[in-house]
Amino acid sequence: YFFGGYYTVTEAIEKLRSGKFEIDFLMIVAAAGAATLGAWAEGALLLFLFSIGHSLEGFAMGRAKQAIEALGHLAPRTARVRRGGLESDVPVEELVVGDVVVIDPQHIRDSSAASVEEMISRAGGIQLSRNGGPGQSASVLLRGNGAGNVVVLIDGVRFGSATLGQADLAGLSLAAVERIEILRGPGSSLYGADAVGGVVQIITRRGAGGPSVAAHWAVGELQSSEADFSVSGASGDVDYAAGIGR
């Protein structure tokens, strides 16, 4: 009774002092009733199991808290913003409506993002919506607006799915992206009525110099893998770049 009921009794006393009536008090009453009836072993087992449950609950809550804190560390502290034609790094808390967040090539190379949608979702004020696991249709939600209110451009050309009615980013390879610019605010005057939430401009890589070939392959847990192959270059006034990935 002592080892199994110490924690339960202390918890019940603290809750009663604060004016709360919870299950700890009921467990004490049940164990005391069992002892009164002569069922000491059953009462002790009840308190012991209840104490183990309390301990496991505390352990699970601690692990969950650590996981949430770890996610907080992944959130970017600063964002590269273009204001008045100049780019600078500002704290995420200072972002305002109308700012253009820039994800430059260095940021893309240094990140651990595996896809375009994951790269975009790490910018402030953007959430990712995906129908299933990696490779399934994915879209972005900007400043609380649905995917239908966010315009996605690729090299200045509107990008959208004829079946989904919105931009599907799952088919884009991050290896082919040079730069991403995100307008955090209404852009209807320039891009149409469906740009109420904002605009995502994806700029692809351009070929330069002689022919260049690049390949990438990675494997992960749960039998996951990714691979891409690209070729680029330039000849005179013509540049070319092509890639394939899965």
**pLDDT value of residue 163:** 56
Rounded average pLDDT per 10-residue block, the chain, 246 residues = 62 69 69 73 74 77 82 71 82 81 83 77 71 68 75 83 64 79 83 82 81 78 76 81 75
* Tokens standing for residue 78: 């600063």
Q: How far apart are CA 25 and CA 11, in angstroms?
A: 8
* Token pair listed for 197: 């939430």
Give pLDDT, residue 71: 66
Give me the pLDDT at residue 223, please: 74
Question: What's the confidence (pLDDT) of residue 206?
Answer: 78
pTM, 2 dp: 0.59
For position 8, what pLDDT does the model report? 66
**Predicted pLDDT of residue 208:** 76
